[in-house]
Amino acid sequence: MSRSVTVGVDFGGTNIKVGCVTPRGRVVRRLVLPTRAHTTPETFLDGVEGAIARLCAALTIRRSQVRGVGVGVAGLVDGSRGVIYRLVNVPGGWEGVALRRLLERRLRCPCAIENDVNAVALGEWRFGAGRGTRHSVYVTLGTGVGGGLVVDGKLVRGIAGTAGEIGHTGVRLNGPRCACGRRGCLEAFVGTAGIVRRARQAIRAGNRPLERLAARHGGRLSPELVSRAARAGDRAAREIWQEVGCYLGAALANVVNLLSPERIVIGGGVAGAWPWFRGRLRATVRELAFAVPARACQIVRAQLGDDAGIIGGAMLVEEGR
Ligand SMILES: [Zn+2]
């Protein structure tokens, strides 16, 4: 094993995951810090510095064997300038923070920061389900619906650093309200809230299996419960996933026509329902996109799992070289 590692940091609203990644994309050691104890730039730097010291000690490597540190953050980031505009789920005090410069000053090695979904897009492209391609699009399905674009082996950031926001592309005029405030975004249909809204409709229309499942979970519906109902054979639940496949397919047909990617990689928590929507998703893309780029594009499930954020963070440093 090569003795040099890159550190990847996944800075989320609940946890900060820090891990050492080999040049071949394997996480050899990781640890988790609670975000609530590191919510200011200063305490975040302290936490990351301490975590790196502990990881190096555990791996019996010197600090100088850390090639660099890459951080994926849940928020609006300009990766090329290394500045945070706004964080999601972390209290204030982060607006306009030049985190890359602060990290480099503190850690004395090359550092990079980027939106967390973009980081995972790079990780999946390099070492996960997008491996071996030049053009790969990553889509994450969860509370939010995000995306990251790798074109010609480069992360596409756009002039404002915000490219890839597929969740807020419109799929229906005057559709339901999205968390972003606009109407008819993809996220309003295939994000957690959209799926839960559809499940509530099904219950109001008399669906008993979903109603019983929800009652057993304190009345709280979730995509996971809709998946469970689908697995148990419930028609209405399967119908909800068919609709997810349709809306996601419509959005991805646009992506296929715009970018002609070689692979589209679907990740995130809701992707656990993959068996229930993949057929309709692929069929919709074939139906709505041009035949030639649709045939050339594979739509697959993500592979990196829980380590995706750490591996993606580390890849940011490699990309910046
Ligand atoms: Zn939106």
What's the per-residue H, E or C state across the chain?
CCCCEEEEEEECCCEEEEEEECCCCCEEEEEEEEHHHCCCHHHHHHHHHHHHHHHHHHHCCCHHHEEEEEEEECEEEECCCCEEEEECCCCCCCCCECHHHHHHHHHCCCEEEEEHHHHHHHHHHHHCCCCCCCCEEEEEECCCEEEEEEECCEECCCCCCCCCCHHHCECCCCCCECCCCCECECHHHHCHHHHHHHHHHHHHCCCHHHHHHHHHCCCCCCHHHHHHHHHCCCHHHHHHHHHHHHHHHHHHHHHHHHHCCCEEEEECHHHHHHHHHHHHHHHHHHHHCCHHHHHCCEEEECCCHHHHHHHHHHHHHHHHC
CA of 185 to the centre of ligand 1 (A): 5
Quick one: pLDDT at residue 89? 78
Quick one: pLDDT at residue 72? 97
- Give the model's confidence band at 91: pLDDT under 50 very low, under 70 low, under 90 confident, else very high: confident
- Among residues 268, 265, 284, 256, the alpha carbon closest in space to that of 136 is found at 265
Quick one: pLDDT at residue 226? 96
Dihedral angle sign, alpha carbons of residues 7, 127, 298, 284: negative
CA of 144 to the centre of ligand 1 (A): 9
Q: What is the pLDDT of residues 205-252, one digit of tens each?
A: 999 999 999 999 998 999 999 999 999 999 999 999 999 999 999 999
CA of 76 to the centre of ligand 1 (A): 14
| pLDDT above 70 coverage of the chain, percent | 99
What is the mean pLDDT of the segment spanning 33-57? Answer: 96
Question: What residues pack around ion ligand 1 (CB closer than 5 A)?
Answer: 168, 178, 180, 185
CA of 209 to the centre of ligand 1 (A): 31
pLDDT greater than 70 at residue 320:
no
pLDDT greater than 90 at residue 318:
no
pLDDT greater than 70 at residue 27:
yes
Q: What is the pLDDT of residues 167-204, one digit of tens each?
A: 999 999 999 999 999 999 999 999 999 999 999 999 99
Pick left, alpha or beta for residue 260 (phi over 0 → left; psi -120 to 50 → alpha; otherwise beta): left
Beta-strand relationship, 83-87 and 111-115? unpaired
How high is the mean pLDDT of the chain? 95
**Alpha-carbon distance 250 to 304, whole Å?**
26
Q: List domains and CATH numbers for the chain.
A: 5-117+306-320 (3.30.420.40), 129-302 (3.30.420.40)
Pick left, alpha or beta for residue 27 (phi over 0 → left; psi -120 to 50 → alpha; otherwise beta): beta
CA of 158 to the centre of ligand 1 (A): 19
| pLDDT above 90 coverage of the chain, percent | 92
CA of 146 to the centre of ligand 1 (A): 10
pLDDT greater than 70 at residue 52:
yes
